[in-house]
Amino acid sequence: MVVLSMLAIITLLFAVASARLVAGQRLAFADLTLARYAHRTQSLVDIALKTFGTGPGKVPFDQPLDLQWGDARVTLYLRDVAGLIDLNTAPADMLRRLAEASDLPVDRVAAFAAAREPMTRLQRVADFRRIVGASDEAMAVVSRVATVVSGRQGIDPDAAPIEVLEVLAGRSGTRADLALSLDRAWIAPPTDTTFRVLAVIDGAPERALGIVAFGAISDVVLELR
């Protein structure tokens, strides 16, 4: 009986150890996958920063860049960040439309809009979650349509993802139709200096990698995703 009990204990301990080993391997693999993804994102954004521009030998901002990245075919695009809703500078009625479209707490978004000051501007879109109590689902929408670096009080319809136009119009439709329906006060010029870096990798859906800014003195990465 004692022998059987000891065997049972040993079997249980072995099972626990095996489960922990498998769990550890899965966590290690997940960490490695995240590290590789972060490295690829950083590298592709760096390539965009060094390759696009207005000088000799640079790829114009409005042109795609095709390249081979390891075993993957990658196409990089730049889109002016003025196509996104700036949480720091957009008018209150525009933020209200964003709140209604993404199920954000309308009253808390209104309070945020009323309390905004230059010295307390958001540094990251992710900070919006804490301030307005946004859900994961709402932040998924906000992260696709908003920014904190355009400085515009409206959007450039030509640079806007169609989802931004749908949010502001409150309905679906064609790009041309939605752009025409926008409040004229919500239309702003492009920055011509600050861009989202977008990538299509092996034909997969377009993915946002980060935001870069091109300046007279230096070019910088403002955000990585």
Contacts of 159 (CB under 8 A, 6+ apart): 79, 80, 81, 82, 83, 190
Question: Residue 132, Cβ neighbours under 10 Å: how many?
Answer: 23
- Cα separation, 130 vs 20, in Å, equals 34
Q: Residue-wise over 49-85: b if at least 16 C-beta within 10 A, else e?
A: beebeeeeeebebeeebeeeeeeeebebbbbbbbbbb
Residue 34: the pLDDT is 35
Cα-only R_g, the chain? 23
User: For residue 4, what are its two tokens?
Assistant: 């059987």
Per-residue pLDDT of the chain (225 residues; tens, 9 = 90+): 544 456 555 554 455 445 444 444 443 333 333 344 456 788 999 999 999 999 899 999 999 999 998 889 999 999 999 999 999 999 999 999 999 999 999 999 999 999 998 778 999 999 999 999 999 999 999 999 999 999 999 999 999 999 999 999 999 999 999 999 999 999 999 999 999 999 999 999 999 999 999 987 889 999 888
* Residue 212, phi then psi, degrees to nearest 5: -125, 155
Residue 136: the pLDDT is 95
Residue 28: the pLDDT is 38
- Cα separation, 188 vs 193, in Å, equals 14
